[in-house]
Structure 1
Amino acid sequence: MKQAAATREKNQARQAKRDPEGVRRDILAVAMEEFSQNGLSGARIDEIAARTRTSKRMIYYYFGDKEGLYQRVLEEAYAKVRGGESELELEGLDPVAALVKLCRYTFDHHRRNPSFIRMVMIENIHHGRHMQLSENIRGLNRLAIEALEAVLKRGQEAGLFREGLDPLELHWQISALSFFNVSNAATFSFLFGDALFTPDGQETLSGHVADMVLRYVRVEHGRPGA
């Protein structure tokens, strides 16, 4: 058995040498599932190693330790949502269309990536301790606020959006509406039924989130800047 294990580890090492980035991606993808399902304390490195056909030694080689892997997974989760935002090309749209697209992207990204929501919830349980150690996450999220600020500014210059809007506060509002849809889906559907969580229900909610945000930011008819 020891010889078989040694042979397997040699094969894994050769594979990692040929495609180290591929091995890292596989580990991060499986680790995302493991951490989001079981939390930091409940996740098992042995399980991640088995599912990726690597070894604990290789995982620790790439990521340092369990908390290092968790932090890297958290960074990947934020990089995915922020990367998707950067691909929306909001600067090429009129301000109203840009804001609608951003709202609907956020809502749809979150509902299609419940593991992201669970990771954020888990990190809040840990009081944001690992996030505070990551310059990458802070930088990524600053870009999100700057992109929203640019949309609001264009809308204000065109006389479409009212003055006095805070992009950080608006980001909070969009995130809150989109987050609750996933974080409380199990309890909400148990209490009130699952009509809102069918494909049609989710599409309707996505549109309504965008409508609510637009009504909040737009200049009221007959009251510019109200």
Structure 2
Amino acid sequence: MTQEPQNEEKKPRRNAAATRRKILSAAKEEFAQAGFEGARVDRIADRAGVNKNMLYHYFGSKDSLFSKVLDDAYRDIRQNEAALELDHLPAPEAVMALVEFSWDYYLKHPEFIRLLNAENQQKGRHVKSSAETNDINRTHLDRMREILKRGATDGTLRDDIDPVQLNISIAALGFFYLINQHTLSTVYQRDLMSPDELAERLRVMKDTIRCWVVRQH
């Protein structure tokens, strides 16, 4: 009598895409909390529930992993920004919408400014070596350039505003406040992260940018 072969229990197949996502999510948390120098690959692997060899298999090195985390961070803010419907707004209001968007994004994603701060401590070497950084951020500059051109044409905005300087100024007004929130709150003896203070900061940011870019008649 021939014995039928028993069905062997099938091992679950590794989902490479899901594993990469888990590693990237864990890496974003670790780099945001500890910076690049302080981050440990062992802790990233533990957070992701994988072994360190698998992490190196997918990303090659700590540097490559950090570069990928930065690219994804830039991609997320630019994709959210691109979803804004600004074409129907007058140019000054479109600029104000971008100011408000940047501020709200920083508040909802504090890890973003911590990652950028960590990369600046590395003198931007990961961003410089990334093949994706320029492509990811190109639409950001193009959109501001188009808004400024529209405003200059209809006379609502000054015609001598550099879109690069404007983007930097919008980022700086929020970035400096949030990255230095603890020291500033202590120095000025105010809780700068309270709802009232955050609302006041946004008002100041919008007034500052508006006074600069809107044409005075």
- Fold match by TM threshold 0.5: yes
Match of 2:31 in 1: 35
Measured against aligned partners, the alpha-carbon deviations of 1:99-155 in whole angstroms (never above 9, x if no partner) come to 111001111211222211111111111111111011211222222111101111111
Structure 2 CA distance for aligned equivalents of residues 25 and 96 of structure 1: 39
Q: How many residues align?
A: 207
Match of 2:143 in 1: 147
Matched, 1:216 2:208: no
> Which structure has more helix as a fraction of its residues?
1
Match of 1:7 in 2: none
Give the one of 19, 26, 36 matched to 1:23: 19
Structure 1 CA distance for aligned equivalents of residues 189 and 29 of structure 2: 27
1:164 is paired with a residue of what secondary structure? coil
Q: Percent identity?
A: 35
Measured against aligned partners, the alpha-carbon deviations of 1:163-196 in whole angstroms (never above 9, x if no partner) come to 1111011111111101112111111011113433
Match of 2:66 in 1: 70
Match of 2:107 in 1: 111
Report the TM-score when normalising by structure 1: 0.86
Give the one of 78, 86, 96 matched to 1:100: 96
- Higher Cα Rg: structure 1 or 2? 2
* CA distance 1:126–1:97, change in 2 (3 Å): same
Give the one of 163, 167, 182 matched to 1:167: 163
Q: Root-mean-square deviation (CA), in Å? A: 1.5
Structure 2 CA distance for aligned equivalents of residues 53 and 163 of structure 1: 54
Structure 1 CA distance for aligned equivalents of residues 207 and 17 of structure 2: 42
8 Å contact from structure 1 (residues 104, 207) kept in 2: no
Match of 2:133 in 1: 137
In structure 1, runs of 5+ residues without a counterpart are: 1-10, 222-226
Structure 2 CA distance for aligned equivalents of residues 70 and 196 of structure 1: 31
Match of 2:86 in 1: 90
Measured against aligned partners, the alpha-carbon deviations of 1:15-66 in whole angstroms (never above 9, x if no partner) come to 6x23x22222221111111011112222111111112111112211111111
1:92 is paired with a residue of what secondary structure? coil
Matched, 1:178 2:166: no
Give the one of 48, 52, 60 matched to 2:56: 60
Structure 2 CA distance for aligned equivalents of residues 112 and 188 of structure 1: 20
Give the one of 195, 199, 205 matched to 1:203: 199
